[in-house]
Homo-oligomer: A and B are copies of this chain.
Amino acid sequence: MDEFSFIQSIKQQTYHQTSLVKGIGDDAAVFRFSNEDIVTAVDTFVDGIHFSKATMDPYYIGYRALAANLSDLAAMGANPAFYLVSIVIPENWLMEEITAIFNGMKELATTYNTDIIGGDTVSGKELCLSITVIGYTKKGMARYRSDARPGDIMFVTGNVGDSQAGFHILTEEAEASYRNSDYFIKRHIMPSPRVEFAQGLSGISRVALNDISDGIASEANEIAEASHVTIYIDDSMVPVSSTYEQFPYELQHKWKYYGGEDFELIGTVSEDNWEEIMQIATNLNLKVTKIGYVDTDKRAGVYLNRNNKIEKILKKGYNHLR
């Protein structure tokens, strides 16, 4: 059983709580109290798998972990409000390092007026950080992967591939030989969750959103599946940073589509709203790029036009348990 089938196996077919709007199956769950939809998600980071002290200071381990969680809230169009942190601390970590992890989270949290309201601290053999985030939207305004419609424009915020390029530089110990290495490393260790952009969309009635944790291929496929549509992406339109081309072409391609951890947002919106999206992005000084379009589900899945050849691209993100 792989990770995805396992999650399917534990997903309830029916729910008892009438306040539930969305259970397992999107970036976060949503439940409703009065006029507010409350959005919550949990993400876990394990030493040696999601991070390593060898390549990242504890401060950034915390910063990046919370960024990944806030990115889930952004992908739901939610305003972040609270977080809870559960941490397993092994003997070979110093208390200063643990404090640094929390300081990293705190710096990012403060930017978004997000409060730490609980957690658990236990001992164990390997460092493991589990963050629960809670946010909210106005009733009915959460953004789902299932909201893409034929005719929509597919867009992405920022650039993609940078985070993996930064990780490559950190792990290959080849920092000196790349231009702009500080930029790429920063994109890896201090990703920017696109909270303001997601909040800016609140006037648009329908937007499908997903955040790039596993790579465009995986995220676009999740939208295609959940919305029962076909998505076409044009490789020449996928935005990369100005010095991204210095890396070997095959790595560029791999990082863009299968690398992930950019924590940019990928989404679809009606053509009628495209100008408004561009305006929101301009106001935030954020690049938003059209990279493709949505068609009916007659072919199903995600297709990439690369050098005038159409290839089907599949989910290939990191799959635990396999």
B320 adjacent to A31 (CB under 8 Å): no
A17 interfacial by beta-carbon distance below 8 Å: yes
Neighbouring B residues of A120 by C-beta, 8 Å: 42-44, 130
Q: Let me know if B50 and A122 touch, CB within 8 A.
A: yes
Would you call B121 and A320 a contact (CB within 8 A)?
yes
Q: Shortest CB–CB separation between residue A261 and chain B, in angstroms?
A: 14
The verdict on A203 contacting chain B, using a C-beta distance below 8 Å, is no
Contact B89 A320 (CB under 8 A): yes
B118 and A16 contacting across the interface, CB-CB below 8 Å = no
Bound state CA distance, A6 and B6, in angstroms?
A: 36
How far, in whole Å, are A23 and B50 apart by their CA atoms in the complex?
A: 28
With an 8 A cutoff between CB atoms, is A10 at the interface? yes
With both beta carbons as reference points, the residue of chain B lying nearest to A101 in the complex is identified as B10
Given A42-B86, A116-B24, residue A124 in contact with residue B128 (CB < 8 A): yes
From B19, B88, B119, contact of A24 by CB (8 A) = B119
Q: Report B-chain residues with C-beta under 8 Å of the C-beta of A84.
A: 29, 40-42, 132
Q: Indicate if the CB atoms of B29 and A118 lie closer than 8 Å.
A: yes
A148 interface hit (Cβ, 8 Å): no
Cross-interface CB contact of A29 among B48, B95, B117, B320, cutoff 8 Å: B117
In the complex, the chain B residue whose C-beta lies closest to that of A16 is B113
Contacting pair A124 B24 (CB below 8 A): no
For residue A99, CB closer than 8 A to chain B, the reply is: yes
* A75 interface residue per 8 A CB criterion: no
Contact indicator B6/A95 (Cβ below 8 Å): yes
Shortest distance from the beta carbon of A56 to any chain B beta carbon, whole Å:
17
Residues of B within 8 A of A40 (CB): 82, 84, 117-118, 132, 134
Shortest Cβ gap from A34 to chain B (Å): 4
The residue on B at minimum CB distance from A50 is B122
Please list the residues of chain A having a beta carbon within 8 angstroms of any beta carbon in chain B: 1, 3, 6-7, 9-12, 15-17, 19-20, 22-24, 28-29, 31, 33-36, 38, 40-46, 48-50, 81-82, 84-89, 95, 98-99, 102, 110, 113-126, 128, 130, 132, 134, 136, 320-321
8 cross-chain CB contacts under 8 A: A3-B121, A10-B119, A23-B116, A24-B117, A33-B33, A41-B118, A49-B123, A126-B126
Additional A-B contact list (16), CB under 8 Å, known A3-B121, A23-B116, A29-B118: A15-B117, A17-B81, A20-B117, A24-B117, A24-B118, A31-B117, A33-B36, A40-B82, A40-B134, A41-B84, A42-B85, A42-B130, A42-B132, A45-B122, A124-B128, A132-B132
